[in-house]
Structure 1
């Protein structure tokens, strides 16, 4: 049941967000849009309450309880980023807003972008690990919470992998292809123009 609820929460997140942005940009109903956007975090509350009730009912914590905490952590940490991502695209498509800006591909800007993503992942991991630890303390029965502790390790691994990815972009920044950099540098254009 909990796995189905996690899937339903993910679907509900996108449906509510789609309705909120449609209300704002298609139907010009700003108050309705704001009310729907405020309702987006309630999806996480529903999942949290369901997970707590399941554990409270005497269930032995397993994969689905850990996944629930991980989902809530990522939803909270990445929620604003995803709402902003969708908002820019809706505004561009339906309200003549500026085109979405793609993440940078090269150099320091790309490294900074990767560190922002790593920061959100670290926040998600921290929230999930905190929820898992609260559940461990609350249940107070090691035989019923082994899986929750295992999920804390998984979250730490995800955070670590994401930090390593960001670090590689800092240590070995990706350089633009020579053709891209020559096109963007006016001095190169002037030089090539004089040679032709």
Structure 2
């Protein structure tokens, strides 16, 4: 049931996002579109409540509950940035808005950009850890919660790897290639 609910929440995220952007830009109903976009967190709340009820009703804590916590953590860490990015592109393509700025490609600006994205992963790992720790306390039997603890390590492993990758942009910043401009004269 939990895995099905995770899939439903993921599909629901994209359906709500598409519907919200369509209302906002295609049907020229910006308030209704914004209201629909603000409903996105309700999906994670439904998943959180369903997972808590499943554990409270005596279900064996396993990978499904850990995956639900990781999904919620990732959505909290990266959901807003994803929606904002897609909103900018929808405004450009559907409403004639300005083209969204591309992320910086070089130097310290790129390192800062990667650092901000990594902060989303870090927030996701913190949220995942908090949710899993609450689940472990609610189960109350540490012998049965090894699976949940392993998901904590998974979240922090992902944050660590992402952090190392982001750090490489600071340590070895990509430099813009020097271009040689030659004037070409065409004679007729």
Tell me the TM-score normalised to structure 1 length.
0.90
1: CA distance, partners of 2:178 / 2:7: 45
- In structure 2, the partner of 1:16 is 16
Cα shift at 1:102 = 1.8
Cα shift at 1:30 = 2.2
Show CA shifts across 1:14-37 (max 9, x none): 100111111011101123112211
2: CA distance, partners of 1:78 / 1:160: 16
Q: Of Structure 1 and Structure 2, which has the larger fraction of its residues in helix? A: 1
Q: Do structure 1's residue 4 and structure 2's residue 4 form an aligned pair?
A: yes
2: CA distance, partners of 1:177 / 1:4: 48
- In structure 1, the partner of 2:25 is 25
- In structure 1, the partner of 2:80 is 80
- In structure 1, the partner of 2:39 is 39
5 Å matches for 1:56-67? Answer: 56-67=56-67
Q: Do structure 1's residue 121 and structure 2's residue 121 form an aligned pair?
A: yes
1: CA distance, partners of 2:94 / 2:65: 39
Show CA shifts across 1:1-25 (max 9, x none): 2111111101100100111111011
Q: Aligned with 1:55: secondary structure?
A: helix
2: CA distance, partners of 1:10 / 1:57: 25
Show CA shifts across 1:146-196 (max 9, x none): 1111111111111111110111110101112333xx5xxxxxx5xx449xx
2: CA distance, partners of 1:38 / 1:164: 33
Which runs of 5 or more structure 1 residues have no equivalent in the other structure?
Answer: 183-188
Which runs of 5 or more structure 2 residues have no equivalent in the other structure?
Answer: none
Count of aligned pairs? 185
1: CA distance, partners of 2:4 / 2:143: 25
- Give structure 1 regions of 4+ aligned residues with deviation exceeding 3 angstroms: none
Q: Aligned with 2:145: secondary structure?
A: helix
Tell me the TM-score normalised to structure 2 length.
0.93
2: CA distance, partners of 1:108 / 1:30: 36
